[in-house]
Each structure stands twice: as structure tokens, then as C-alpha cells.
Structure 1
Amino acid sequence: MTQTLTITRPDDWHLHLRDGEMLTGILPETTRHFGRAIIMPNLVPPVVTSTDAAAYRDRIMAAMPEGASFTPLMTLYLTENTDPEDVARAHADGLISAVKLYPAGATTNSASGVTNFDNVRGVLEKMAEIGLPLCVHGEVTSADIDIFDREAVFIDRVLDPIRRATPGLRVVMEHITTADGVAYARSQGDDLGATITTHHLIINRNHILVGGIKPHYYCLPVAKRESHRLALLEAATSGDSRFFLGTDSAPHIDPLKENACGCAGCFTATNTMSCLAEVFETASALDKLEAFASLNGPAFYGLNPNADTITLTKGDPVTYPEKIETGAGPVTVFDPGFPLHWRVD
């Protein structure tokens, strides 16, 4: 029996588009289904000023597929030299929707990130004043902290102190991966939200390590124990407005994933909506998919939901390409490890 589900067109509140030939090759994978996306600024060099953001937005628009209806929501990369007034002007001009905090060395192209949080206090206070959200990559990078504990330690050592020191600062905990992240988000007020990725709803650390290292499941923050995945699944399918979709879809060409020091990132833009429909259906929560993918994110960012809709239809398994060929090289599409029966019409 054919089933259909029509929902408000979704948005992606955490997306990597890269630049150049990679941008041109993978942008259509997002614009096909999503109306808007928060665009990550960790290019080389990073997007640190309003001038950088405007130029990057122009490059995205120039790469837009013909007929696409998609709005890139730009961000600035927070450094210890970020000018609070430049941030405020970019926000007032409608150029940026958030500022991104990377602890130095936490993930791909994060070397310019923050080491001393006292040095960005002025920027955070200005953001609280003007209502501009701070998106945080929630991991500490101290060598003495186990990689599987980085998120929980970040909450205690960095995030909670920042929030206590900067009342009114709106914060998005990006790509949470632990029950600790879920619990902290639920303990806070409506000035804190949390994104959850497609792949963290599906994989745990066994997928990366059992039976040989699987580089296309390696991401940062790294996938955790099954108990943490289940906590994320419960949060995403609960309808709780604090939690919304941020795919963290992160393309790398295969030679940079499949080597002795492979890059972190899962590329999920192509099949995310099919994956999510399967996951939510299995959890008997298809009625909560629209809130997670289409409604909660705009509400947090003070935007209206998209005016148009998408329809998903359940039938025979959907076939997606194994790879997206780009001018930069091939990018492997995330494999959920189970058949996908829902397609976007």
C-alpha cells in the first residue's frame, strides 16, 4: 500500500558547502529538498568578516542550479580578533544569521578557532544585545580528554560558564551526540536549541570500528555508544521544540576520506529526508518529522516556516547514487545500512 506524507519544506540548520568546484558539485544535493541552510564558515581561509561572508554568499548564489529556490543563511567564524561592530553591522544588514564558535583544533579547518574565551567576551556580549545566535561546536580539545568525553566536558567547562557569564545569549548546541547534550538542552530555557544530524540518529561507534575502519562513517564529533544514539533518537522524535535538524553534511573527496589520516565528515545531503522518514517511521513518530525538520529550527531563529511543502511517498526501495561526481573529485553518499523506502516526490 502506498503511503504519502506532506510536510512543510525542510531547512538544514548546519551545512558545509565548501567552495569552488566542490561547491558547484554538491550544492544541488541540498537545494533539491531544502529551502534554507545555515552555511558553515570553516573555509580556507575562514569566513571571518562581513566582507568575507558577502563574497561567499555571492559565490553560492552564482553556483545555484537553474530554477532552484534556496536561501543560504550565512555565518561568521568567531576568532579572538573578531570585531563586535563588524558582527553587529552584518546582522543589521541581514547578511548573517549566526556566528560560529569552533574551539581551536576541534574539527576540519578549525585552527583559527578560539583558545582563550575571555578574548571573545566582547563579541558574545554584543551578540546577546542584538539577539544574534551563537552556534557552538561543543567539544574541548585538551589532549588529556578522551575523544568520546569531549562533548560532556565542553558543557561543564565552556558552554555553561559562557551562558552564565552572558545572560540573554542565544545558543545553538550543534550536532549533539550524547545523552549529556540532550539533558543539558532540556535543562535550559528557550534561548538554547540543539541540532541533531541525520547520521548520528543512525550510527554508533561500532559502525565506524567493527569489522574494519569505515572512513565514511568517521565524523566529528565522533559517533558515541548506542545508549547515546538512542537518547538522540528520543529527543528528535519527541516533538520538543529545542531539537531540530542540522545535517552537518560535510563533503570530502574520497581520496581524503580513504587514507591513513582520513578527514572527518559524513555527506548526507542527498538522502537525508529518506533516511529521516525511515528512522521516524521505525520509531512510530512520522507525525513528529515535520516539527524536527521544518518547524522547530525556523522558530528558534525567529523566521517563518517555508511557505511550500514536500511530499514523501513510501514504496519500493529508493536507489541513490553511491557517489556524487564533482569537479574536485568523487564524494561518497552516506549509506544508512538499511533500505530506504521513502522518496521525495
Structure 2
Amino acid sequence: MTSITMTRPDDWHLHLRDGEALAAVVGDTARQFSRAIIMPNLRPPVTTTEQALAYREHILTAVAGAGVAAERFTPLMTLYLTNNTSAEEIRLAKASGHVYAVKLYPAGATTNSDAGVTDLLGHCTAALEALQACGMPLLVHGEVTDPGIDVFDREAIFIDRVMVPLRRAFPELKVVFEHITTREGAHYVRDAEGPVAATITPQHMLYNRNALFTGGVRPHWYCLPILKREVHREALVEAATGGSPRFFLGTDSAPHARGLKEHACGCAGCYTALHAMALYAQAFEAVDRLDKLEAFASFHGPDFYGLPRNTDTLTLVREETRVPDELPFGNTTLVPLAAGESLAWRALVDTATA
């Protein structure tokens, strides 16, 4: 196979930041993907519909500045769930027509999560009831933050401590278990009752935790949830390539300045927006399941969210392409995942101008 033409995909988990950082990275996504679920963990976080709509305008302006036609990319906005999010705010978000989900960050779980939830069922019942009633998904960063729990076990324990009680209390609530990283996570989503799905990143399909330490500590492979053992990577590949509609593409692409990654206390996050579809193609081809890539990337996500599938296309060509060592990022640079390595596929990205 020398090329693949597929329905244009969507990214169901994306970090864009704001300001100069947003302007530097949004084009990489908008040229490949038709839509993207935009994470709300800015400083300060996007906690209201008004803030989400303002952020949406920033994104659309940046898309135009990147030379991509406005109709070619749609940001799907989210709210950041806090202990104080009201049911009325959920209803306002739904009525806006531009907010598509609410994101749960357990307090302290990842980048800019200080304002996150400390007790989901203790503080957020009214918001969860409103989400269930209006059919808006709850997107969960599935890790407990108890400092006594090993970082490699936090996802599995989250299932027992949070997901199971949540599903028992709100059985009809749409839940996306974001960026799953473990066999336990994949099997939970596969077998759960009710409307449950999961996103899977390219790095968790391609690498296990050895990648963090090959030749030394490699901060550009550090993300949260952290890379896990090979047995977990294999389970994620099976989930993503197995054809189940519960699993779909979410890059969790997260740009950080090079200096903040290569730091004594480096930031968590892998930048994959530039070459996301090539990375996924490599993962699917490694297990001889390229025929399953289109459904994972283009069908399962919109079907779960209740949105129409895209009608335009994206083509991947078999062409060895070297990942750049670094990319411009405002007045500094960022390092993409697998910098300096060669990928077997390249996406023919959208170059239409605004």
C-alpha cells in the first residue's frame, strides 16, 4: 500500500494554549483534522460558557492567521469542571451550540490542574445531573492524585475509586475516559455498561516506559498519564485497532517550550499535532491493521458525540519523513515527539488559505 485516502479525521483531545503559543501550533492540527475537542486547562482555566466562547474566537483568529480556511476547522469547546460548577452553567454551555463537553481534572493531576475537582460525587452532583440530562459528555483525566499511590498504578485505581461509583450514580451519563494507558483501562471501557468510550494517544500506542530512559532521561517522552509497561501498550494497540466503536483518536498533543521540558522539573506533555496521523498510521501498520485506521480516526468519535461524520478526505502517502528536531514556538522552540526519527507515512495536509 502506497497511499491511504480516508474520511478526514477529528482529534477528540487537544491542547492549544493561548496567545503566541496558540498561534504557533494551531495550524498543525487544522491542516489535518476537521474538528478538535479543545482542553480548557489554561491559566486561568475556562470554567464558564462566556470564557469558552471568547477562547473559541481566539482559536478561529489563530486558524486564519495560520492560513487555513475558517470552514476547514471547527474547535469544539469544553468547560473545566470545578467543585463549584453549577447546573445552570452546564445548561448555558449546552445552549451555546459551541461547548461540547466538560472536563474533569482531579486536583493536581496534570498541567494547570490546581483548580480541579477534589471530590467528584461530593461536590459536583448537580453539574453531573445536568450533564446526564442534556447528553453532554464528561471527559475524565483518569488518575487518582493520592501521593501514596505509585504513579504507574493511578489509572487502575481511578477505575475503582471514581469510575465505578460515578457510573453507578449516573448510568446514562456519557463518559470519555481520556488517554487511557493501561490494560485495566482498555478492558474497563470495553466491558462497561452504558455510554462509555475512551481516547488513545499515538505515544501510548507506539512506546512503553523504556522510551523515557533510552540513552538517558528523555523529557520529550514524558506525559501524564505516564508511559506504562509493554503489556499495557499492547492492550491499547488491540483496543484501538480492534474495531470497537468505544475507542477513538485523541492525540492529547500538548505543546511546551523546550526549556520547560528540558528542566529540573520538566512539564508533562508530548507534542504530536504536527505528525499525528503519520504516528497513528505507523502504530496501525505495525499490527497489520491499517484497514481499521479510518474508523478509529474518523467515525467512532463523531458517532459517540452525536455529530455528523466529515465528508471531505485526508490522504496519507508512504514516504519516509524525518521529524524535525524542533519547531518555532513564539519566541522560543518546542521539540515534537520522536524528533530526529523517521516515519514511514506523511499526511498530505490541507493547504487551503483563508
TM-score by length of 2: 0.95
CA distance in 2, matches of 1:332, 1:290: 28
The one-letter code sitting in structure 1 at the alignment partner of 2:190 is: R
> Is there any run of 5+ residues in structure 2 with no aligned partner, and where?
349-354
Alignment partner of 1:168 out of 168, 172, 175: 172
Is residue 193 of structure 1 aligned with residue 193 of structure 2? Answer: no
CA distance in 1, matches of 2:293, 2:49: 35
The one-letter code sitting in structure 2 at the alignment partner of 1:213 is: V
Partner SS state of residue 322, structure 2: coil
Is residue 251 of structure 1 aligned with residue 252 of structure 2? Answer: no
- Give the match for residue 138 of structure 1: 142
CA distance in 1, matches of 2:340, 2:207: 9
RMSD: 1.2
Partner SS state of residue 147, structure 1: coil
Offset of 1:190 from its aligned partner? 4.9
Offset of 1:202 from its aligned partner? 0.9
- Give the match for residue 333 of structure 1: 336
Offset of 1:143 from its aligned partner? 1.0
Partner SS state of residue 340, structure 1: strand
Alignment partner of 2:96 out of 89, 93, 96: 93
The one-letter code sitting in structure 1 at the alignment partner of 2:289 is: A
- Give the match for residue 351 of structure 2: none
Offset of 1:326 from its aligned partner? 2.0
CA distance in 1, matches of 2:196, 2:140: 11
CA distance in 2, matches of 1:303, 1:206: 38
Is residue 294 of structure 1 aligned with residue 295 of structure 2? Answer: no
Distance 1:289 1:82, change over 3 A: same
Offset of 1:154 from its aligned partner? 0.3
- Give the match for residue 62 of structure 2: 63
Offset of 1:336 from its aligned partner? 7.4
Offset of 1:95 from its aligned partner? 2.2
**Map 1:232-243 → 2, pairs under 5 A:** 232-243=236-247
CA distance in 1, matches of 2:340, 2:57: 37
CA distance in 2, matches of 1:116, 1:276: 35
> Which segment is superposed worse, 144-153 or 84-93?
84-93
The one-letter code sitting in structure 2 at the alignment partner of 1:51 is: E
Offset of 1:275 from its aligned partner? 1.2
**Map 1:137-286 → 2, pairs under 5 A:** 137-286=141-290
CA-to-aligned-CA distance 1:4-60 (integer Å, 9 cap, x gap): 111000100000000110000000110110000000000000000011101100110
Partner SS state of residue 108, structure 2: coil
Is the 1:190–1:242 Cα contact (8 Å) retained in structure 2?
A: no
> Is there any run of 5+ residues in structure 1 with no aligned partner, and where?
none
TM-score by length of 1: 0.97
CA distance in 2, matches of 1:284, 1:46: 41
The one-letter code sitting in structure 2 at the alignment partner of 1:22 is: A
Q: How many residue pairs align between the two structures?
A: 343
Is residue 82 of structure 1 aligned with residue 85 of structure 2? Answer: yes
Is the 1:22–1:328 Cα contact (8 Å) retained in structure 2?
A: no
CA distance in 2, matches of 1:206, 1:319: 22
CA distance in 1, matches of 2:308, 2:178: 21
Is the 1:202–1:336 Cα contact (8 Å) retained in structure 2?
A: no
Alignment partner of 1:310 out of 305, 311, 314: 314
CA distance in 2, matches of 1:268, 1:232: 18
Offset of 1:322 from its aligned partner? 2.1
Offset of 1:195 from its aligned partner? 0.3
Partner SS state of residue 75, structure 2: strand
The one-letter code sitting in structure 1 at the alignment partner of 2:294 is: E
CA distance in 2, matches of 1:190, 1:274: 32
Is the 1:73–1:97 Cα contact (8 Å) retained in structure 2?
A: yes
Partner SS state of residue 167, structure 2: helix
Provide the identity percentage: 55
Offset of 1:89 from its aligned partner? 1.4
